[in-house]
Amino acid sequence: MSQQLINSVKYLIRLSEEEELLLPTLFNRVTLKKNEPFLQEGKVSNHVGFIEEGLVGYIMTRNGEDVHAYFSGENEWLGNYESFLSRQPSTRSIIALEPCVLWTISKENLQKVFDTMKEGDRMGRLIIEDVFVKSSRQVTSLYTGTPEERYYEFFELFQHIQHRIPQYMIASFIGIKPQSLSRIRSRMAKKH
Amino acid sequence: MSQQLINSVKYLIRLSEEEELLLPTLFNRVTLKKNEPFLQEGKVSNHVGFIEEGLVGYIMTRNGEDVHAYFSGENEWLGNYESFLSRQPSTRSIIALEPCVLWTISKENLQKVFDTMKEGDRMGRLIIEDVFVKSSRQVTSLYTGTPEERYYEFFELFQHIQHRIPQYMIASFIGIKPQSLSRIRSRMAKKH
């Protein structure tokens, strides 16, 4: 059932009856097992998508080690838009951290959304605005944040899904060792 | 003359004759002297804008020191969209690095562009897509880049304006001391 996708789109724009019928035909339902990739680093991204169920992590490689740079859960969009637009190899993998049900869309079909749906461009604008603001906060936090501030930033960005993200991935997002995360957590617990 | 702004918009979308007359009335022409702020850290951003002439730098503060996080020149858009959308205080200042001629637009007038111009949302989508992709590359580079890679990234992002950016700001963008930048530059010069 694609009702969740339609509801999420209707939260952003008005859909005519015809558009409500057309929209799901432009998407494919895809399921991923835990640890299965939606996109692999080094490959060109051909699809972006909507998460009906599950959780994904964005993973980059630094000196052979995984860096967990982002997370998305239900009712959020996923993809590497940079690679998707430019046809350049992706600099990150997107991996299912839980079993996922996704609705994916190709570049060609997304262009149809923009070109044929009355408020298609508005939908695109609002979705990108949202991810851009998050990305922009991440740049700020990477440049200026202390580990404590980055831990708060993690909670602000991922409040809705933080309890489903393993500790070592949170440490990796912040850019510290898991042991340091434990120290920050106990310092913060004492303050409250 | 707002012809440069109109040409830049027409590069992205079609404008009707009426829209071509309407568009400039929604913008204000603003000039900045060198070192004058377009936006100050801690203030809410009320305008975004288009750079007709000049160069700006995005500056954040880390432990009381300036961090130069981004640069924009002629025919590019400027602003802190995060603060502009959310009405939260800006986490960065935007400062004129050269005397600037800008065309600025308020939130209310930008909403008019989106609501009344036929391809207004498309224009917004295309502009945000572009800045999002750059922001996303910056996140990747901050997480995984060595200083050398970040120096290349600087050139890729700011090829068109790099010769106008002082060395200490480039070093700050990369996240190294100016002396280290000199060493990287001489190592790179030997390779080529």
Tens of pLDDT, residues B12-25: 999 999 999 999 99
Q: Output the pLDDT for position B1.
A: 63
Q: Output the pLDDT for position A117.
A: 96
Residues of A in Cβ contact (< 8 Å) with B124:
121, 125, 129
Are the C-beta atoms of B32 and B102 separated by less than 8 Å?
A: yes
Count of H helices and E strands in chain B? Answer: 8, 8
Complex ipTM value: 0.91
* Sign, CA torsion B109/B114/B117/B119: positive
**Of A61, A132, A143, which is closest to B132 when you measure between CB atoms?**
A132
Q: Output the pLDDT for position A2.
A: 84
Tens of pLDDT, residues A51-90: 999 999 999 998 888 999 999 999 999 999 999 999 999 9
Q: Model-level pTM greater than 0.90?
A: yes
- CB contacts < 8 A (A, B): 99
Whether B117 shows a pLDDT value over 80: the answer reads yes
Confidence of residue B104 (pLDDT cuts 50, 70, 90): very high
Are the C-beta atoms of A44 and A92 separated by less than 8 Å?
A: no
Are the C-beta atoms of A167 and A179 separated by less than 8 Å?
A: no
**A129 with B128: Cβ contact below 8 A:** yes
Chain B residue closest in CA terms to A83:
B133
**Of A86, A125, A139, which is closest to B128 when you measure between CB atoms?**
A125
Q: Output the pLDDT for position B192.
A: 66
- What six digits make up the tokens of A131? 């991810």
Tens of pLDDT, residues B26-83: 999 999 999 999 999 999 999 999 999 999 999 999 888 899 999 999 999 999 999 9
Q: Which residues of chain A have pLDDT under 70?
A: 1, 192
Are the C-beta atoms of B10 and B123 separated by less than 8 Å?
A: no
